[in-house]
Structure 1
């Protein structure tokens, strides 16, 4: 599972160093080579949006303020920084208004305690709607990675798709109905890793899960940053995300807008069977498989992913 096992001291040292530096963009790891890194870090200053239940959501905006909007939603225990290779892509930035959220309980967003803030689908749906409304996003394309496939489903169940131009599911969960949807390392989302008790288990489990997300491992500085923002999601938040129902089949079948399903063929968390299910459930959906990627094709094959995303957003905007 962990292709590059680290000692307990190395792991804890990486986590402490990263958290001590704060939540930095991946580009900041190359500060010695990039004189503008300090200015780039400032670009991640959040704008906060309030959800109806009072949770403050950190949002980050890049790109062309007059361009078609793309709203990125990250996965379990991740953060907006997961999308650094999209948010900072010059071609995407020239053409599109790109926005990412730290989901509730993650990153710089509020982290209230209690299942009422995490179990109901309505709260996730209202978060997405609040960001769209507060930022004035006109017919955005939603890009949902991993657990965010469920957030997209919550939004569709509660608010429908009328305000959207399209949806890109990225190695995303859209159903719990078939064990074949889950890969060999899906169990790392449970008590043996991401929900492990105690600080040692919590750190080690997070490292194991992160390693499992990639067929080609990130550079050490990038992995350090990823570990840092994963550790910002407390145990009680991760537990709150677990065990929720996933009743999205009817919402998928009812979609009448462009949908792209992107998925790494080497994903050990969610298999390509999940992607094929999603694409098959949505009329006219397109399936794009990445032969060399694991759970994060937007990171591992970013140039191709960004090109396909740009093409899809143009198509989605032209279709409505």
Structure 2
């Protein structure tokens, strides 16, 4: 009876084991999980995870009127699946609690406490933070109240450095309509705001989903968050971990040049990158480039 050489049998066995490992990992990565985390003041935060549960944690923090759905092009990127991708809906957004009091939104410490609660509950070791727009202000407040000792790095994406007129483009009519008690006016304000987020407008299905996403946001939050305290000088100023600022050059909501200049007053070591064809949402408008930049930043930030 003819017998196969031992090395061929061993090779076949190793190949089968590798296929099994890849299949197991793919299955693990294909099963996102969702759960609730309780913040310091009792707010329930909707948290979601996907990617490699054993990978380097990346916490993606959305902006005003958003939710985890904003990060779909990152959560679906095959190269990013090697990481543990953690998202959560900010207070007043998505599936998280929506407190009725103004203080729940104006006090920047509470947003920082929320992020700390997520990091603690998920046991995320040295995560990289990625904050879009309002999410940038959340990162700054976290850095102020908790420091960067538990972080690997932070990326601001068209991030709010300070809620000041010299850095935020004025759209008084839009922000007024967004908090109108008249439903049609309110919804039209939401729609206009979302259009302002993009230089390259998304396809209709994506825009409709984002608009439905916006409709979940608390009206009290939208009114109060305009007065949110942002401790950018203390937060960015004392950060020692790598900090990256990405802005779309055609941002119609935040002034990229002014925001970057102000951030550099606090921290001269920050890295910056401008996307010539993007508005306020380069992670959606130029997703392929953004994902590559994110991959590069994470590898650099975690290589120390």
TM superposition score category, shorter chain reference: 0.7 to 0.9
Give the structure 1 partner of residue 67 of structure 2. Answer: 79
| Alignment match of 2:167 (pick from 168, 181, 184) | 181
- Per-residue deviation at 1:45? 5.6
> Residues 245-281 of structure 1, C-alpha deviation per residue, up to 9 Å, x if partnerless?
3232132121111011000000000011213432453
Give the 3-state SS of the residue equivalent to 1:54 in structure 2. coil
- 1:58 equivalent to 2:58? Answer no
Give the structure 2 partner of residue 204 of structure 1. Answer: 188
The runs of 5 or more residues in structure 1 that have no matched partner are 1-41
How many pairs does the alignment contain? 275
**Alignment check: 8 A CA contact 1:279 1:286 kept:** no
Give the 3-state SS of the residue equivalent to 1:142 in structure 2. strand
**CA–CA distance in structure 2, aligned partners of residues 300 and 279 of structure 1:** 26
Of 113-122 and 133-142, the range deviating more from structure 2: 113-122
| Alignment match of 1:105 (pick from 92, 98, 114) | 92
Instruction: Tell me the C-alpha RMSD between the 2 structures.
Output: 1.8
- 1:49 equivalent to 2:34? Answer no
**Alignment check: 8 A CA contact 1:298 1:305 kept:** yes
Give the 3-state SS of the residue equivalent to 2:292 in structure 1. helix
- 1:282 equivalent to 2:270? Answer no
CA distance 1:188–1:299, shift in 2 (3 Å)? farther
Of 295-304 and 310-319, the range deviating more from structure 2: 310-319
| Alignment match of 1:239 (pick from 202, 223, 235) | 223
| Alignment match of 1:96 (pick from 83, 89, 93) | 83
**CA–CA distance in structure 1, aligned partners of residues 283 and 43 of structure 2:** 28
Give the 3-state SS of the residue equivalent to 1:138 in structure 2. coil
Q: Which runs of 4+ in 1 moved over 3 A?
A: 42-45, 186-189
**CA–CA distance in structure 1, aligned partners of residues 77 and 227 of structure 2:** 36
**CA–CA distance in structure 1, aligned partners of residues 178 and 128 of structure 2:** 30
- Per-residue deviation at 1:44? 6.3
CA distance 1:267–1:47, shift in 2 (3 Å)? same
**Alignment check: 8 A CA contact 1:106 1:232 kept:** yes
- Per-residue deviation at 1:43? 5.7
| Alignment match of 2:244 (pick from 260, 265, 276) | 260
Give the structure 1 partner of residue 292 of structure 2. Answer: 307
Give the 3-state SS of the residue equivalent to 1:190 in structure 2. helix
Structure showing greater Rg: 2
Give the structure 1 partner of residue 255 of structure 2. Answer: 271
| Alignment match of 1:146 (pick from 133, 144, 152) | 133
CA distance 1:286–1:226, shift in 2 (3 Å)? same
